[in-house]
Structure 1
């Protein structure tokens, strides 16, 4: 009887995506409907790490509050709805924008129907709409403006027609100043260009904003003059005060905040104590530098202010009280109601960055709290209009589910013993410390569950590479055990069964100077490792041979390239009589070419003049090379077009002659294609690369190339959401093509991980993609179980409505071996079965198969592995 292994990760990806309300068009219509991706290692460890949630902002939305903050666990803006009674509705938090950009400094406002959130990334100001149910309406974010200056939060208000957002960015003189833009409730940018609010040639930062019925008042710090300035802007975006309003006579006021009471603005700021200035709608300062809170000149306290139809509430951090959050009410004339203030919270540990909002009756105050003593979280409390605190204890708003992270895996490499594959990678054993692990994967995709601990010596081991010599694998890597700031090269042999033969590692190169960019090959007896070496003061290409028994043959290394411009990024392939070593040479900044030489199995450099492989304009980088039994094919990333990197190639014969002068193009898709990897399967070359044709997040694409340099096929290895990086490809002796890469994943099964894992994929990659513009029918199916009983594979599938079902099975070559149709099935539970026979009624053999279930315009896909 055959046993069946089913890839539940594979099932989970499709079930979770198709169960969601997201449609394919939001994924650029480039979702692979059938693929055979799987994790190499599903184990994970917890690594202690402090994750802060910080800088809260809150808005009132008629029925609920909505709070947002920066979550440093994954550098995202998170949020939650809070009822008017202080109940948290989204206890796990809402990710405001899932894209991979680092996000911080947010603000939020409400337009009567939806909330709008703005935030910064390193290069842009983004926004998104969120409805009152907490649904993010623009999940990829709205790009409001590019940024060249990264500091200070934006500020946002709604004026009844449009939102107005202000922020700090560099002006044409590269000096920080204040800009703004209007955004309509549909998320469209109203202004054709950003509005420069501060026209002074100075250093303006940290803006705050309020709407005053017919105009906005924008206030900010002027660092050059150590002053507090402001200007009014009307609702059409016209700056009304070209000569800025001077808001304080004090030297160096900080952290302004502003609110409007229906008649005047109250601008408050931090000057050891909390001061304020009243400003009317004509821009006239009525009262300046009112001392509203007396804290005896304590350090920065980050005050905030809100108006609730009767009076202002000022909140602040009080260092004198032990870092508590306090409040003071002030009337519309600037008279302090609570001369001694009142305590909102003063529980253990520090509290900073308070923020306040009113529902027109009570106030909700949020702050950043070190209550756990481990990391910062967001807490809050409500107070009534009389200043009474309504909750005890304080309300916890944000939850760091654990002060731990899941270990990251990256930089995979693989080689084959002819049948099975050895996959090696970096694995984060402790915070930011990486060691090397590996796994044996057979040609059917079955992973040995015992992962191999390759090297766990002191400090990190990085960038592993591997080759097979006919008897054992050699894994080599950059090793920091001797010099924490400079890598040596170590290696170990691993048997085909996964046994580490040199447990302490072999020191391949431990001389002075940094060693980087390691690659390895074999002449079927010995190994040869090459790298970029800085021992001479410039980067040169060095190599060293090891015997099959792991004995280092070249104690001082072999100098393969000679003094001159820096040479790095080598690769190496055995060509039957000699090795071909290729590398990048830097002629000037941004100008790189590809060169190479042949090296004999005895370690002799054959082409002392070097082979000029590509000397085109701009940059050619990261070469990779493979041999087809007659010639080599060298591929690289190439920027000779002047804009994006493309993939080029060139054949070289075993005598070192260039067969394709100038090279030939293998991919010129939009965006960058970088980091190519190449292997030969006995008939064709297969190469893959990191690809950015779909945007800022990396995918893995590839082509199949004949030995004469013709493209036979192109394919998508993986174009999932998030990044897939650093692909490595290898073909075994039977022609099987296997690709591994680092893939950012949200989940392993039901475990949320939010980190990089090593994934694998076999050719053919079954790149059946949806036609542009097609949206699937939302069939809310549920997979109840998948198993094998007797000689039948079955899936129990629950459908809520009637639909036609088509069940297909494919073998590894992509050949359809089963096609069953179930007409007008459902509602209810349906039993989809396969009798493990092909279309000729012949029982299939052991190995890996892929199924696809079509439900109208929706598809479920998965993997089946039959073992003895």
Structure 2
């Protein structure tokens, strides 16, 4: 990995929270807010060994917190309280909120960071399908982005008319057909919602989406509600459409068909049975007069039927002597293609509309390398084109190539024996024929680098003479550069905001780390600057301020995912930028940033290592940005964890909290640590030992630390918290409830990215700050229409003063990060998915939160 020069205009006063709290204690909080540089405090005295945990009096159980009203843009948001029952979990008390809350929170309109950079769409795009309407192709594909299936129009000149794509809200794979004007895309309803909301009907329903020639979605039609429907296909007679699909019922595969009109009416809502004991559908096509449906079975090998546009069978099921895998017809001529199971050959045969194979043994058009290869066929009325991916031998590797070959009307192969290679490192070939050629499509891994889940849809045009016009391929699946996992801190003049960015994916950089400055009012002050770049994955940053320095740390992962990771960093001053490296190595999955905390000139980085000893590790960072010798607490039992958070506890002390267990949920534990010696307090059980916490955050007011976490012990998501003194005394007899979200999907107890369903609760390690008067906490939860960001105010006395929405819209929002100015203004940053035509991806947005006290 190489690290680019950093941001040089960075400076800061002493730690904000400690200063504000000390001045407030002397009765000068108003003066300090007016002039944040008017007072500074001395470093606190060294804290003695912590005593055993005290058991303070139990807190009375108040009323629960009511949901606030949706936010305005901007608006003052009141947070009234209902008279609902208090929390009833034994040993836990709900936090008190005044009724009504005297606090209001002004939430600013959202602000973007820098201008979008167009490139490969974020995530993986696979299984393309396409059709031609006489003017343009419409290409659709399975997409890792919200929306599930996206599409774009491509002209015969190779122009991409929808640069960031059109979300179709389906679950792939899909098929596409055109009636000469618009397009019909068919697939399953699945979980392809842009907002993350569950589909109104079953996820396995087959749905047809109508798209106009200008790329406008005209409507959706339910084709069938049959259980376990899959493997859909569609063809058009030039006016309407015929859809075929499989349904697995009673341990058998059934094949059905239904007509859909150009206006979207389903003429056969119950479907017509085609076969009740089939294996795989080869395809559906229109030969100019009738529809042809071909599929394969164990006995006989292959089958086909002819159906007229009125959905009447013209011929009964006809047996084929081959196992067809691809079918295409045009102007009374058809071609079927298959891959032989006993040899590496790819074969094709001309076929009459009556099902007569004109080349019974098949013509060898190419070769495959393994059975995971894919096959597609097209026909322009004269010549047939066959395209396939070669597959990869398991445990051997090697490139997966996309190839093609053509057959003339006599069945002669028009290309060299073995086929022509279109590209390497690609799979899932598809083709869309035109009267003058074809458009090849495939899923390409050239941008994947060390992570093959960055596959993109590429294409290449073929002329009628067989020439490929796009030797390097056309990038079809595009979006703006994705931005992920923001983190920020205030440097005394402005916020330093860092995030993971995919603008350099085309250079096989996977994800790099960028940063810029944001003013206290929320406006951008400069352009994005790379902090960590290279072909490894730079992700999950953490930012803190210490004196005149800003420190940024992040995970640098070799395999491009979240495995085999080390901590990298930048030590930034107004005049210099220094690389930092740490001997912290992580083999398991991490979804939280390194724990970084600073105060009174003491900066520590904390994490867990699991390569050798499975235990916490920490290091102090010197004023020059050079980490000291790592410290391991030798009296702790070995246990791996990827979820660690920390905060400065005063003087040289820091509170480090974590959730034991690499993948599973578990209790929240903590220690008070000092890194210029070898001191760790005894283990502090922040939660009950049987608790199931998912993530944790820590912040300090100077004389009180607050630990907050996402808890799923009861099966529903809750945000819990507990206060700790700087010398390791638990100030609350039990954790208190900040918020409850029984309406949100409960995530699995196993901790990984895939176990977070849409609209699930998530609290990030960067989501808790102290604004000089109170703690401000923010997390992601399910909103009325999509994922939203929610906040809460918590006093140093452990009382929840208010809850408020930060976002309330139909966009999917990610886990927020917070930072606070010297004057107490909070800036929230979060990634949100925006399908707008200039984005089509996740982008980091900011909102300023101004808290108005009574």
Q: TM-score with structure 2 length normalisation? A: 0.63
1:504 aligns with 2:579: yes
Q: Structure 1: where are the runs of 5+ without partners? A: 1-28, 281-286, 330-337, 358-362, 382-388, 765-811, 816-868
Distance 1:67 1:469, change over 3 A: closer
Change (3 A) 1:399 1:624: same
**Residues in 1 aligned to 2:635 and 2:170: alpha-carbon distance in whole angstroms:** 39
Q: Which residue of 1 aligns with 2:650?
A: 576
Partner of 2:325: 254
1:437 aligns with 2:495: no
Task: Give me the whole-angstrom Cα distance separating, in 2, the residues matched to 1:291 and 1:640.
Answer: 65
Shift of 1:378: 5.1
Q: Which residue of 2 aligns with 1:729?
A: 818
For the residue of structure 2 that corresponds to 1:444, the secondary structure is coil
Bigger strand share: 1
The residue number in structure 2 matching 1:155 is 233
> Within 5 A, what are the aligned runs for 1:755-834?
755-764=841-850
Change (3 A) 1:416 1:483: same
Cα distance in 2 between the residues matched to 1:680 and 1:626: 7
C-alpha displacement at 1:369, in angstroms? Answer: 7.2
1:128 to 188, 198, 209: 209
Aligned equivalent of 1:291: 359
Q: What is the CA distance between 1:666 and its match in structure 2?
A: 1.4
Q: Report if aligned partners of 2:285, 2:327 keep a CA contact under 8 Å in 1.
A: no
1:686 aligns with: 776
Matches within 5 A, 1:658-697: 659=732, 661=734, 663-668=736-741, 670=744, 671-676=759-764, 677-693=767-783
- Name the structure 2 match of 1:17: none
Q: Shift of the alpha carbon at 1:610?
A: 3.5
Check if 1:92 corresponds to 2:158. no
- Counterpart CA distance in 1 for 2:270 and 2:778 is 41
Structure 2 residue aligned with 1:531 = 607
Classify the secondary structure of the residue corresponding to 1:673.
coil
The reply on whether 1:631 has 2:704 as its aligned counterpart is yes
The structural deviation recorded for 1:521 is 0.9
- Given that residues 376 and 387 in structure 2 are in contact (C-alpha distance below 8 angstroms), is that contact kept between their aligned partners in structure 1? no
Task: Report what 1:316 is aligned to.
Answer: 385
Aligned to 1:807: none
Q: Is residue 774–residue 794 contact of structure 2 (8 Å, CA) maintained in 1?
A: yes
Q: Residue 80 of structure 2 aligns with which residue?
A: none
Aligned to 2:668: 594
Matched, 1:546 2:621: yes
Q: Which residue of 1 aligns with 2:283?
A: 208
Task: For residue 291 of structure 1, give the secondary structure of its aligned residue in structure 2.
Answer: coil
* Distance in 2 between residues matched to 1:631 and 1:461, nearest whole Å: 33
Q: Distance between the aligned counterparts of 2:656 and 2:329, measured in 1?
A: 65
Deviation at 1:584, TM superposition (A): 1.5
Q: CA deviation at 1:576?
A: 3.4
Per the normalisation by structure 1, the TM-score is 0.62
Deviations 1:133-162 (A, max 9, x none): 5421249x9797799899xx6312469998
Q: 1:560 to 1:221 in 2, by over 3 A?
A: farther
Kept in 1: contact 2:163–2:478 (CA 8 A): no
2:175 aligned with 1:106: yes
Equivalent residue of 1:550, what SS?
A: coil
* Cα distance in structure 1, aligned partners of 2:802 and 2:267: 46
Deviation at 1:472, TM superposition (A): 2.3
C-alpha contact (below 8 Å) 2:780/2:788 kept by paired residues: yes
| Aligned CA distance change for structure 1 residues 457 and 234 (closer, same or farther; 3 Å) | closer
Residue 520 of structure 1 pairs with residue 588 of structure 2: no
Task: Output one character per residue of 1:580-601: Cα deviation in whole Å (capped at 9) or x when no partner.
Answer: 32212249x7553322233346
In the other structure, the counterpart of 2:63 is none
1:305 to 1:567, Cα distance in 2 relative to 1, 3 A: closer
Q: Which runs of 5 or more structure 2 residues have no equivalent in the other structure? A: 1-68, 75-107, 192-202, 340-345, 369-373, 389-401, 424-428, 447-456, 745-758
2:185 corresponds to: 117
- 2:722 match: 650
Residues 305, 117 of structure 1: alpha-carbon distance in 2 compared, 3 angstrom cutoff: same
Which is bigger in relative contact order (C-alpha 8 A, separation at least 6)? 2
Query: In structure 1, what is the equivalent of residue 461 of structure 2?
Result: 379
Q: Does structure 1 residue 68 correspond to structure 2 residue 157?
A: no
Aligned pair count? 670
Deviations 1:230-278 (A, max 9, x none): 578999999999xx9462224x4432346897xxx97844475543666
1:466 aligned residue = 543
Distance in 1 between residues matched to 2:186 and 2:153, nearest whole Å: 15
Does structure 1 conserve the Cα–Cα contact (< 8 Å) formed by 2:376 and 2:431? yes
Q: 2 CA distance for matches of 1:649 and 1:170?
A: 48
* Aligned-residue RMSD, C-alpha: 5.6
CA contact (8 A) 2:127 2:173 kept: no
Secondary structure of 1:448's partner?
A: coil
Structure 2 partner of 1:738: 827
In the TM superposition, residue 632 of structure 1 has moved relative to its aligned partner by 3.0
Please name the residue that 1:228 is paired with: 302
Change (3 A) 1:646 1:146: farther
In structure 2, how many angstroms separate the alpha carbons of the residues matched to 1:698 and 1:143? 29
